[in-house]
Amino acid sequence: MKRQPREFGSSKLFELAIALGLLAMAASVQAARPGGELGVDWGDPRGQECVDCHMTESPGLYWEWNNSQHGQAGVTCLDCHEAKEGDIDGFAHEDALISIVVTPKDCSNCHKVEFEEMDGSHHAKGGQILASLDNLLGEVVGGPAAVNAGCRQCHGSELEFITEGKDKGRPTPGSWPNTGIGRINPDGSLGSCTACHGRHRFSRAQARTPDTCGKCHVGPDHPQIEIYNESKHGIIYHAKVDEMNLESDKWVAGVDYSAAPTCATCHMSAAPGIRKTHNVGERISWTLRPPISTKINLVRLENGDEFDVPEGKEIPKVGDAAKGSTVIEVMTWKDRRSQMEGVCFGCHSTSVIEGHYKQFDDVVELYNEKFAKPIAGAMAELKEGGYITPAPFDDKIEWVWWEIWHHEGRRARHGASMNGPDYTWWHGIYDVAKNTYFEWIPELKEVVHKKDGNEKFAEALLEKHFAANEGHDWYFNGMSKEQLDNVRKGFEARYGKGALK
């Protein structure tokens, strides 16, 4: 069934949202606990022997487990770690066949809904990075060891196992430990629940904190944790963390807590009228990852997979065949945004929500139209004309463009999406502009001159792709007298007449 976008501002709809929220809260209290029957689906009494041994052999693991909801509910080591005969990751331990690796499929024995929501998501596909430019940089320019201890610890990788000898069934040291969000597991499942719910406590409170997401969403190309920390949301969260009720079973925004949202609040958790989800990308209406951003529609398939369709492309309908399966649900970008707005509505008024999205959309459009599309258009013509090779990263101008969109451009877009002003401007659009005008354009001219002996083709590309945008007028014609006079007036008002020469 196709979801319909919510409308805001109606008191009747608000009352309905609250009612639906209360129903969702009532249901979610039980959903957080293991499903099935104690002693049948979980709570294997043979696991008590594991518990008794590990209490002395590895007390740190024991106490983490014992203090968890799993431990208090009677879920034992064997419930999660038991393997089956023939499993590549199974090995004999004491009188049991076990695996060190606990996969999402294992967790699905009790947490079926959470597994299904995560299974087709972008997070689950994080380990499939072999064909990406990021991976090319890591493997070739850096080196495999850096990828193994760096990229794969966030993205995940395919686990490998020893196939003979006394250690048969144990993971190889080169591929383990790994709790990457898109880890490729021996049972065919994707992901790692312990990427967010650290073993063996499996704490919801820990998974709800921004620092958990900040393990991977950090750094020059996706500094979400830094942006969050400088935002008003992050500032209030850190000041009022004791009021966040992070251990709550239902944890409904605006009901169980109101101080501030965390990453989980916006992307996963419940709000009045909005159900919780383990599909972290479901509420995202822009993609901020590629060189040029587009709004994205979500298509879900019967086989559990899903994919995005950029705005303007044909969207399949429910019942259509697609990617080897059948479409069972379509969420347009407006539907996805409506879900996110519903979370915001738990604490904010309509004017705040609409104002935020207007400012966010404007920054993305500025980045797209003024910088990304012109540079991408020129780069395509350089490649077509033989000025640069088809291979990536063997021309300096490709490195400059890469950092403009992959680093500075992403920072600007993410900054605007999460209310981080410094990342929107100084670490974002300012750096985009500086490196466009004083790195990329000079390199464009150098590349063309090297092949043609002049810069005419470069000038033609600038005229074609840049000159029509009035935002670049200052570069071609200098700043106008009016612009300079405005700066002079402000400068002199602060520092005195004649201060700006």
The alpha-helical segments, DSSP class H, found in 385-437 are 396-403, 410-417, 421-424, 430-435
Nearest partner of 90 among 193, 40, 182, 163, judged by Cα: 163
Tokens coding 265: 């609040």
Residue ending a domain, choose from 195, 229, 251: 195
Cα 345 to Cα 349: distance, rounded to the nearest angstrom: 6
Residue 264 lies in a domain: no
The pLDDT of residue 3 = 40
The pLDDT of residue 333 = 98
How many CB atoms are closer than 10 A to CB 313?
A: 10
Residue ending a domain, choose from 179, 195, 211: 195
Residue 466 lies in a domain: yes
The pLDDT of residue 491 = 86
3-state SS, residue 190:
strand
The pLDDT of residue 28 = 39
The secondary structure element, H or E, covering residue 300 is strand 294-301
pLDDT tens, N- to C-terminus, the chain (501 residues): 344 344 444 444 444 444 444 444 444 333 345 666 776 777 888 889 999 999 999 999 999 999 999 999 899 999 999 999 999 999 999 989 999 999 999 999 999 999 999 998 999 999 998 888 999 999 999 999 999 999 999 999 999 999 999 999 999 999 999 999 999 999 999 999 999 999 999 999 999 999 999 999 999 999 999 999 999 999 999 999 999 999 999 999 999 999 999 999 999 999 999 999 999 999 999 999 999 999 999 999 999 999 999 999 999 999 999 999 999 999 999 999 999 999 999 999 999 999 999 999 999 999 999 999 999 999 999 999 999 999 999 999 999 999 999 999 999 999 999 999 999 999 999 999 999 999 999 999 999 999 999 999 999 999 999 999 999 999 999 988 898 888 889 888 899 888 887
Residue 267 lies in a domain: no
The pLDDT of residue 34 = 66
Residue 284 lies in a domain: no
The pLDDT of residue 43 = 84
Residue 131 lies in a domain: yes
Residue 58 lies in a domain: yes
Distances (CA, A) of 219 to 215, 224, 320, 408: 10, 8, 40, 11
CA angle 33-36-38, nearest 5°?
85
The pLDDT of residue 88 = 97
The pLDDT of residue 33 = 59
Nearest partner of 264 among 307, 309, 233, 306, judged by Cα: 233
The answer to whether 248 and 203 have CB atoms below 8 angstroms apart is no
Range of the domain at 473: 350-492
The pLDDT of residue 216 = 97
Residue 310 lies in a domain: no
Residue ending a domain, choose from 168, 195, 222: 195
Residue 372 lies in a domain: yes
| Residue 271 DSSP class | B
Tokens coding 483: 């612009």
Number of domains in the chain: 2
Nearest partner of 272 among 6, 31, 32, judged by Cα: 6
The pLDDT of residue 40 = 72
The pLDDT of residue 24 = 43
How many CB atoms are closer than 10 A to CB 353?
A: 19
